[in-house]
Amino acid sequence: MSRFIQKTLYALLTIFVALTAIFFVIRLSPGDPVETVLGQKATQEEILKLQTQLGLDLPISKQYKNYLKALSKGDLGKTIFGNKDVKELLKERMYPSIILASISVTLAAITGIFLGIMAGYKKNQSFDKFSRLISLFALSFPIFSLAPLMVLFFSIKLNLLPVSEWISIKHMLLPIVTLVIPLSAVVMRVTRNKYLEEVHSQWVMVTRSKGLGEVSILLRILKVCLPTILNVVSIQLSVVIAGTMITETIFDIPGMGSLLFDGIQNRDYPIVQGVIVYSTITYMIIYFLIDFINEKLDPRTQS
């Protein structure tokens, strides 16, 4: 069996497990969507009628079967609140999330690689010590605690940046910086360690003895380091996706994260399931893409 087929099967299995897990977890969690829609004063007849309309009166096994059958047709259902098509709702909300995640990952990668190379190049000097200290400090704050601190300092204390909405670059700065800080710290430390590992290797010594300039050597080392850096970024993708959702909720960005939060609050099963479907498939596609790039960069896979 080829590696491509193996990875495809692994991706499909991962998606299937994730979708199955969210189906059962959300239904076993406390709270009743019917009661949330109708309120506590609803009669038993009204409750039974809505349960029948939503298919919640069926046995859990039958609900699961219908759920998989609908997914196989690309049908994510309709929201319990408002009876809106989940697929259309996701299309409306995905763009802020894509923009936020894409810009954050790109800036974090560029910043982390640059600082990592510089820290490795200036090993044990002031820049190296300071950058390692800052990166350790950045990693000490998870996004759910870093975001409120950013709001407190830049919005409330200094009154420099807005807290909510998604209108202009000024509104995007705080959410982007909140995501960039921890991810760039991870990339920086990995890049520094990999650079120091390669800079003293035999192939670098041979290259330097041939009279190649330091900039050219640095670029060659960076190319060797890239697969490791990309692997770290791919591993951190799940953290970025989760962080994006948390950040959107805190900064009131109309993206997938705030949609998921609303869905969980209202026990709106189709919304929660739809966001998880989107997030899982997106993660697996990006993971495949990074893995493909790694194979092209790795000289061991080239003839």
pLDDT tens digits for range 91-147: 888 888 888 888 988 999 999 999 999 998 888 899 999 999 998 888 887 787 888
The parent domain of residue 65 ranges over 3-72
Same-domain check for residues 105 and 246? yes
Q: How far is C-alpha 77 from the chain's CA centre?
A: 24
CATH code where residue 187 lies = 1.10.3720.10
User: How would residue 171 be classed by pLDDT, with cut points 50, 70 and 90?
Assistant: confident
Same-domain check for residues 60 and 97? no
Last residue of a domain, one of 46, 72, 98: 72
Does pLDDT of 301 surpass 50?
A: no
pLDDT tens digits for range 187-227: 999 999 988 888 888 888 888 888 777 788 888 888 888 88
Q: Does residue 19 belong to any structural domain of this protein? A: yes
- Does residue 78 sit in helix, strand or coil? strand
Cα 124 to Cα 42, 98, 132, 139, 229, distances in angstroms: 69, 38, 10, 20, 22
User: How would residue 8 be classed by pLDDT, with cut points 50, 70 and 90?
Assistant: confident
Reported pTM = 0.79
Q: What's the number of CA atoms in the CB half-sphere (13 Å) around residue 132?
A: 13
Least confident segment among 31-40, 72-81, 120-129, 227-236: 31-40
> Residue 274 has which token pair?
């739809």
Which residues touch 189 (CB under 8 Å, ≥6 apart)? Answer: 116, 132, 135
Closest to 277 measured CA to CA, from 14, 9, 29, 7:
14
Same-domain check for residues 200 and 125? yes
Same-domain check for residues 250 and 110? yes
User: Residue length, the chain?
Assistant: 303
Q: So what's the pLDDT on residue 1?
A: 55
Same-domain check for residues 226 and 111? yes
Q: Would you say 152 and 256 are in contact if contact means Cβ atoms under 8 Å apart?
A: no
Q: So what's the pLDDT on residue 303?
A: 41
Closest to 237 measured CA to CA, from 104, 146, 133:
104
Same-domain check for residues 98 and 54? no
Average confidence score pLDDT of the chain: 83
Q: So what's the pLDDT on residue 299?
A: 53
> Residue 139 has which token pair?
């990693």
What's the structural domain count of the chain?
2
Same-domain check for residues 296 and 173? yes
- Does residue 85 sit in helix, strand or coil? strand
Closest to 100 measured CA to CA, from 244, 211, 4:
244
